[in-house]
Structures are given as C-alpha cells and as structure tokens.
C-alpha cells in the first residue's frame, strides 16, 4: 500500500474488509433475527442484552490486537523480515493466553456480572446461558481476530473474507437447524456461533502456516519476544483500555435501559444490531486507513500517509452522514424484521431518531483515532475515549437520569459524547506531528 493511487489503494483494500465485517456482524444479528422471530421478545431481549458485556470482555484483547497489527504492518512496510516474524509469533502467543483467560472469566462470572447490570429477572437465566456458551468459544474468537489482523496488516484482506463467509453460512444454517429443527433455546444459538467461529479461526491459522511469505507461522516458534511484545503493548494497550472504557460505559448505559423493562431492552437492542450493520462501511474504511498509515510510515512515505489520512477522513464523514439520514427514515421498517411488538418498535425508532443524524461525529472520531493508531500514537485517543466515553458518560447518567427519568435522556448520551470526542481528537490531529517516531522507537528496541 506504499505505491499506486492513494484513493484506489484504500478503497480496494476496504471493500473486502467491509464484506468480511458484514458477514461477521451476521453472527450476532442472525442470532437476534431467528431468536426474535421464533422464540419471542423475551429471548430476543436476552440475546441482545449481553452485547455490551461481550464487547467489554473481548474489546480489551481486540484493542491489543490493533497494536499487534500496527507493529506487523510497519515491519512489513519496512521489509524487515526478521522482526516481522517475531511480531507474528508474539501476537499469536498473546492470543492463546488472552483466549484462555477470557474463557475462564466469561464462563465463571457471567451470572454475577449480569445481575450487577440489573438485567430483568425474566430474561436473566437465558442471558446467562447464552453468555456462558458464547465464552466457551472465546479462544476461537481471539484466534480468528489475531490471524485476521496479521493477514490484513500485510495487505491480505481477501482470505479472511473467504473464511468468514463460509463460517457465517455455517452459523446461519446451524441457527435454523438447532432452533427451528431441534427446538433449542437461546443456548443453541450461542453454540452455533461457537462452532462457526471455530471453523473460521482454524482456516485462518492453516492459511498462515502454509503461506510462503515472511509472515508465515511456524507453530513451534509461537512464543513471547520481550522487545516485540513491549512494542505491541505500547501500541495496543491504549486501544485495549479505550475499548474497555467504551464497553464499560455502554454496560452502564445498558443498565439504565434495563430499568425501562423488557420491551425497551428488546427495541434498543434491535436498533444496536441495525446500527452495527449500517456502520460497517465506516468501520471497514477506518481499518483500511490504519493499515495504509502503518505501512507508509514504515516505508518512510510521510507525505503519502498525510494525503491518505485527508482522503480517508473526508470519505468516512460524508458516507456516515448519508447512512445516518437513511437510518433516520428507514428505521420503522428495519426494526420490524426483529420484532412485531409495537412498544419495542417504538423504543427502537426513538433511539434511531435521536442518534442517527449525528453519525458524522461518530465516524470522525473513529477515523481520526484510526489514523493516529496507524501512526503508533494511541495514547491521546485513549485519553479522549476514557475521559469522554468512559468517565463523561458515567457522570452524565449518574446526574441526569435520576432527574430526567426518560429513555430520551439515556439515548442522548451517545451524540453528545461523539461530538465532544471529535473536537478533542481533531485539535490534536491538526496540531501534532503524528508521522514520525517509529524509527526512534525501533532504534531503542
């Protein structure tokens, strides 16, 4: 990605990422669609209510994987085969450790965490069952994300896409077979997800073991390298804390939504699934932009990195606002795919009307943070997310919801924090020299 037309390079790389993310989103969305239509609103609420908790537990590890991807992409761009191999195998070692820890936490403490969130008693048993089964496959989830990150960091966004499409089809078929055919409950939906994610993880690992390139994986070489791991942590730990802070704040938001009853949980949960789908183009473009920045800075192409950043940010902001307008008007139709309950539909439509027109700020936030992560400058984005999306949301909910006890008060926490974070990140992006520093860090290592 350090040669050729900037716009076409980023777009060509982002398209497979978008399709892959689209199918990855199908994992949870198909579960919600099938569960909502075949098992009812209580089961739908159980499945959708655990989304923020899942992201809180897995988001930290995925944030560290971002640091690993930046490290891999920079050594790939610098044509440093020895350090590239060390980065790949250190990344996989961390993946195995993190997947094991997540499995223990998610399966042992799921009931206690859901109770702390104030999950309604009528959906608590099903939500806890779904969560325990889901986290029994946490190692497969971390392995897939690790291998996908390595392949994308070296410019291969196609093979992760192929494997993800196959596993998404498996997930959909198993959902239908387990729930409609065998009359299973929400636990069978989680089991289908675990099986399909395991398939994609194994296929990705096989691909990395068979490639002839410098990033080839040799199982016997999977181990921690201290110098490389410190680089991964330096780049990735801020993103991990950032994801965890966002997820923790979203868990608190979910707790406030839970207070309005099962229909509010179902309606807002369905909106969240739709938002996850429609925002995929932005997420994919930001991922491509991060890889583009990392490879070009590794190759010393500083001017090209800046041009790519300007092009990418303009694209994500304009595209996000167009998506927001579409969601604003189409939400009443979209949400009926999940539930026919008028009260749940009303909650989902209200949240869309109060959030979707501000997607431009959400996209700008992710876009600028993606550029800075690609440049190895993760500390300031982390500070912004922690202070605004983390602490700011907690303070907002604690002070205003008891006074203005309405679902609108809860919903408005999102656009407000999007706007504030965008302003902070943009000021830093304009004033800081984010293109240099990798060479110095490499010399010190």
Q: Taking 90 as the threshold, does the pLDDT of residue 39 lie above it?
A: no
The answer to whether residue 137 sits within a structural domain is: yes
Mean pLDDT of the chain: 82
Q: Taking 90 as the threshold, does the pLDDT of residue 321 lie above it?
A: yes
Residue 325 — pLDDT band, cuts 50, 70, 90?
very high
More confident residue, 443 or 212: 212
Q: Please write the tens of the pLDDT for every residue from 194-207.
A: 898 899 899 999 99
Residue 26 — pLDDT band, cuts 50, 70, 90?
low
In the prediction, which pLDDT does 148 show?
A: 86
The answer to whether residue 1 sits within a structural domain is: no
Q: Taking 80 as the threshold, does the pLDDT of residue 43 lie above it?
A: no
Closest CA to 127 of 278, 277, 274, 251: 251
Least confident range from 165-169, 181-185, 282-286, 362-366: namely 181-185
- Name residues whose C-beta falls within 8 Å of residue 423's C-beta, 6 or more positions apart in sequence: none
Q: Taking 90 as the threshold, does the pLDDT of residue 361 lie above it?
A: yes
Q: Taking 80 as the threshold, does the pLDDT of residue 61 lie above it?
A: no
Domain carrying residue 345:
6-444
How many other CB atoms are there within 10 angstroms of residue 412's CB atom? Answer: 18
Residue 343 — pLDDT band, cuts 50, 70, 90?
confident
Q: Taking 70 as the threshold, does the pLDDT of residue 436 lie above it?
A: no
Cα separation, 313 vs 24, whole angstroms: 24
Residue percentage of the chain with pLDDT more than 90: 13
Overall domain count for the chain? 1
Q: Which long-range contacts (CB under 8 A, 24 or more apart) does 406-411 make?
A: 407/257, 407/260, 407/264, 407/268, 407/347, 407/350, 407/351, 408/350, 408/354, 410/253, 410/256, 410/257, 411/350, 411/351, 411/354, 411/355
How does DSSP classify residue 404?
S
Exposed (0-12), middle (13-18) or buried (19+): which is 430, by Cβ within 10 Å?
Answer: exposed
Q: 3-class DSSP state for residue 98? A: helix
The dihedral over CA atoms of 152, 157, 162, 166, expressed in degrees to the nearest 10, equals 50
Residue 362 — pLDDT band, cuts 50, 70, 90?
very high
pTM for the full predicted model: 0.68
Cα separation, 159 vs 20, whole angstroms: 10
In the prediction, which pLDDT does 415 show?
A: 92
Q: Taking 90 as the threshold, does the pLDDT of residue 424 lie above it?
A: yes
Q: Please write the tens of the pLDDT for every residue from 128-148.
A: 888 888 888 889 988 988 888
Q: Please write the tens of the pLDDT for every residue from 206-253.
A: 999 998 888 888 989 998 888 888 888 877 777 777 777 777 777 778
In the prediction, which pLDDT does 80 show?
A: 83
Least confident range from 35-49, 336-350, 387-401: namely 35-49
**Distances in whole angstroms, Cα of residue 169 to Cα of each of 15, 36, 164, 218, 441:** 19, 19, 9, 29, 43
Residue 443 — pLDDT band, cuts 50, 70, 90?
low
* Angle between helix 302-335 and helix 280-298 axes, rounded to 10 deg: 170
Q: 3-class DSSP state for residue 182? A: coil
Concatenated DSSP letters for 301-350? -HHHHHHHHHHHHHHHHHHHHHHHHHHHHHHHHHHTTT---HHHHHHHHH
The answer to whether residue 254 sits within a structural domain is: yes
The answer to whether residue 213 sits within a structural domain is: yes
- Residue 293's Cβ-side half-sphere holds a number of Cα atoms within 13 Å equal to 30
Angle at 171 between CA 168 and CA 175, to 5 degrees: 145
Least confident range from 229-233, 397-401, 416-420: namely 229-233
Q: Taking 60 as the threshold, does the pLDDT of residue 445 lie above it?
A: no
Q: Taking 90 as the threshold, does the pLDDT of residue 46 lie above it?
A: no
């Amino acid at each position: 990605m350090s040669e050729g037309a900037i716009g076409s390079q980023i777009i060509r790389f982002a398209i497979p990422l978008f399709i892959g993310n689209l199918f990855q989103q199908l994992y949870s969305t198909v579960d919600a669609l099938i569960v909502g239509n075949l098992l009812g609103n209580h089961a739908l609420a159980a499945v959708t209510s655990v989304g923020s908790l899942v992201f809180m537990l897995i988001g930290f590890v995925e944030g560290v994987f971002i640091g690993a991807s930046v490290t891999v992409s920079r050594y790939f761009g610098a044509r440093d085969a020895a350090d590239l191999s060390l980065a790949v195998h250190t990344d996989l070692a961390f993946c195995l450790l993190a997947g094991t820890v997540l499995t223990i936490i998610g399966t042992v403490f799921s009931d206690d965490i859901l109770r702390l969130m104030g999950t309604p008693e009528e959906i608590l048993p099903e939500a806890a069952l779904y969560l325990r089964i889901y986290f029994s496959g946490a190692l497969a989830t971390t392995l897939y994300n690790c291998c996908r990150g390595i392949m994308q960091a070296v410019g291969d966004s196609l093979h992760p896409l192929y494997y993800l499409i196959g596993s998404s089809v498996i997930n959909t078929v198993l959902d239908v077979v387990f729930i409609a055919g065998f009359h299973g409950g929400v636990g069978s939906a989680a089991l289908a997800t675990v099986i399909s994610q395991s398939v994609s993880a194994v296929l990705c690992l096989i691909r990395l073991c068979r490639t002839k390139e410098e990033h080839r994986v040799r199982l016997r070489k999977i181990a921690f390298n201290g110098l490389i791991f410190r680089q991964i942590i330096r780049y990735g730990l801020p993103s991990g804390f950032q994801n965890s802070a966002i997820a923790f704040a979203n868990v608190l938001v979910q707790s406030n939504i839970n207070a309005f009853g099962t229909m509010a949980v179902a309606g807002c949960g369905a909106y969240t699934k739709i938002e996850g789908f429609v925002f995929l183009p932005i997420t994919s473009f930001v991922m491509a932009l991060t890889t583009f920045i990392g490879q070009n800075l590794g190759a010393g192409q500083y001017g090209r990195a800046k041009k790519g950043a300007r092009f990418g940010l303009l694209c994500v902001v304009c595209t996000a606002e167009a998506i927001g307008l579409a969601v604003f008007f189409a939400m009443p139709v979209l949400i009926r795919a999940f539930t026919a309950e008028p009260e749940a539909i009303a909650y989902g439509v209200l949240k869309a009307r109060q959030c979707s027109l501000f997607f431009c700020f959400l996209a700008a936030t992710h876009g600028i943070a993606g550029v800075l992560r690609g440049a190895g400058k993760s500390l300031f984005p982390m500070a912004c997310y922690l202070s605004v999306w983390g602490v700011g949301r907690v303070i907002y909910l604690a002070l205003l919801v008891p006074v203005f006890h309405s679902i609108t008060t809860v919903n408005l926490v999102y656009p407000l924090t999007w706007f504030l974070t965008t302003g902070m990140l943009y000021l830093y992006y304009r004033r800081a020299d984010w293109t240099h520093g990798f060479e110095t860090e490499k010399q010190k290592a």
